[in-house]
Chains A and B, each alone.
Chain A
Amino acid sequence: EPEVTQTPSHQVTQMGQEVILRCVPISNHLYFYWYRQILGQKVEFLVSFYNNEISEKSEIFDDQFSVERPDGSNFTLKIRSTKLEDSAMYFCASMDQGSRQPQHFGDGTRLSIL
């Protein structure tokens, strides 16, 4: 069964450094998402992406965050200057077109900011 893949599985970065999290969504999917889960808390929506542009973003997704789909397969989340509170699991998800489709999630990247 096709799946969403994320790399790396774990990223350790010094505060203030830039980090790029990578995702390969399911190949025929058209909608892409990033979510995050701080340890012990709920999964929170960050951003949705469709037709090569952001369709919605949350308050968390400030100007330190950006997303890109640089080619036909990858979908990346960049954090320009990481803060301690950015430490979390980051999940990528993709969805096929249609209003009644499930979102399929990757295994996540655990981001640890030191």
Chain B
Amino acid sequence: SQQGEEDPQALSIQEGENATMNCSYKTSINNLQWYRQNSGRGLVHLILIRSNEREKHSGRLRVTLDTSKKSSSLLITASRAADTASYFCATDAIGNEKLTFGTGTRLTIIP
């Protein structure tokens, strides 16, 4: 598999439920970031977690990072219809800030 693989590829849930998306990567990282992309639009930065951090919160978002398993998860609590989008993880390495993106999870919130 390539650096940055999300699963599931697609997720549909009812409004109000929690959504969890996972990301795995292969090489050592400096930071891991999560982005949202609405259809045909740009990438909106959601949250950055550093390699020495294990968990981070921002509003309804909770991100975890397990560097021993080279994986991260993004939890969106109390989902809303407006959360419908694709979500990508992106990693960068120490001394190299170019981002390597995952394949993305397409999240659909059913009203």
Contact = CB atoms under 8 A, between A and B. Distances in A.
User: Does B bind A?
Assistant: yes
Most chain A beta-carbon neighbours within 10 Å: one of B30, B40, B44, B98 = B98
A95 interface: yes
Interface stretch (B20-28, B68-76, B101-109): B101-109
Contact of B44 (A33, A105, A110): A105
B36 to A, nearest CB: 11
Interface in A60-114: 91, 93, 95, 99-108, 110
Interface string A24-51: 0000000101010000001111001000
Given A104-B45, A108-B41, A108-B42, A43 B98 contact: no
Contacts of B103: 42
Contacts of A101: 48
A18 interface: no
B33 A91 contact: no
Contact of A56 (B33, B41, B90, B96): B96
Interface residue SS majority, chain A: strand
Contacts, number: 60
B101 A44 contact: yes
Interface residues of B, number: 26
B42 to A, nearest CB: 4
A107 B38 CA distance: 10
Nearest to B88: A43
Contacts of B4: 42
B99 to A, nearest CB: 6
B42 A105 contact: yes
B101 A103 contact: no
A45 B50 CA distance: 20
B42 A31 contact: no
A102 B98 contact: no
A102 B100 CA distance: 13
Nearest to B35: A105
Contact of A105 (B2, B43, B48): B43
Interface of A: 4, 6, 31, 33, 35, 42-45, 48, 56, 58, 91, 93, 95, 99-108, 110
